[in-house]
Structure 1
């Protein structure tokens, strides 16, 4: 072999060896950066009851007769062990039953997206309809279908829960099939409260002397509140027994007031709302809710418009379409903000 080909072969070999070494350095340094980035983003819970919004609880949904029972499992996301332990602890100690108001026509177009997103994080999830669907599953309630009968559906749903699931949870959340709920934030909010107190929480409205919670934003009853409601729901002197009523949330508030259940204040320590009855952008964008709108007439705690509208521990949003359910699920449980690494 002549000198020139040998020189060419030597240069080519040196280049390839250098390229391989450089690639290995880039690979391992990149892997270390990724590991450090994930570690920096998975800083754990400061205390066992301080739930971070970015933690994926990832409960497995299991069919349990007429409802869905959630079983806590190890999260898939690489989060701090203390955080995961705290979430499991709260899952077991702050037991929440979620019942979702749906219908035969919206079961597979809306309720299925609740089932596949936030519904997995409740201890028990029930879908209340007027037709049963064993494979979903949904529960058939003895009431006519339609918006005119949502008070009747609400009454029968709570009756069913009282008869079949009273001891499966400590708090009982009602939500619509177009409501998105951050269940971990609900547990955090309820973690220092007693379910033996007669109280319910949501987005507070008031009509005349009746304080009630927005039905669309969802509301949660303590076990004691549920017991009191069911014990008098058929008493005409205490509750409206006419099932053909649209104002389910108002009728619930009136009935609960008559049995001494307190309408609690769910705002955070900065007086920001946690349950919201509209799409979130309507409060984030100032002026989106006209001042002559009915909302401002009935809301008790008027929220600030703009970025300070809502709590960092927001619990619910209403009027969420199916695609947005999954969009919110990703933002809440998977998205991580970048951090500046030391050194």
Structure 2
């Protein structure tokens, strides 16, 4: 009997993470492709078609049977209608794209479509940090900021249209930094990796000092660079501020944090934990704040999990 697999694709503002996954969550093959979002909608769709085509060829060569595909994407996803309800300029031209039907026609497979932060949470609940937890809050810190709430019984709260989890657009500073959603002072404009690099530049650490790289900024901070340390401390305070709002609303046992920035480990997390402890009301303490186990593969794993459910008619 052929090994059955699904394809998982996670579209971020910077990179597309993709893979082939079996029904136990084993990632058999994985790729990372630059999104090149500014090239526009048609270019991005073409990349997705190419990834799907390569995976069908690889599955055939390995003797695997594709059962379906899951696609996670930045933006607000109307999962019932299979389209992008709204996307900011992180993905230009993405609003309104009927992506589920497009991908299904192209591949001949059943396709599940979901917001990338929900996919991250589903992946972590399936095979990651969230697996042993009764319920948890997910926060993703990347090009943008998003999240998801996983209930005690393992369900993901999507909201009326699937748009729940837009945590990045909680306003934490009235009249603050303009956001590409149209508001000002959104958490995303202070807690995203893009925001971190803007804060570094505002502090005098321009690209000549950091190379435009968050990794380099953290290297400077670890070496004791005073300005870099100040930027990281301030960033941790902004991250904690948004988390504090969510803790007061949802009262989670744990917060599972995803995004490439989690590679900084306790150097960053201890700062965030300390700031959260300072800000939350004592009744809400303690809250565990931990890194996602699956790293950048959490979203594609979650998309794959939904693909299995679609393949099984659930």
Superposed pair shares fold, TM > 0.5: no
Larger radius of gyration: 1
What TM-score comes out, normalization by structure 2 length? 0.30
What TM-score comes out, normalization by structure 1 length? 0.28
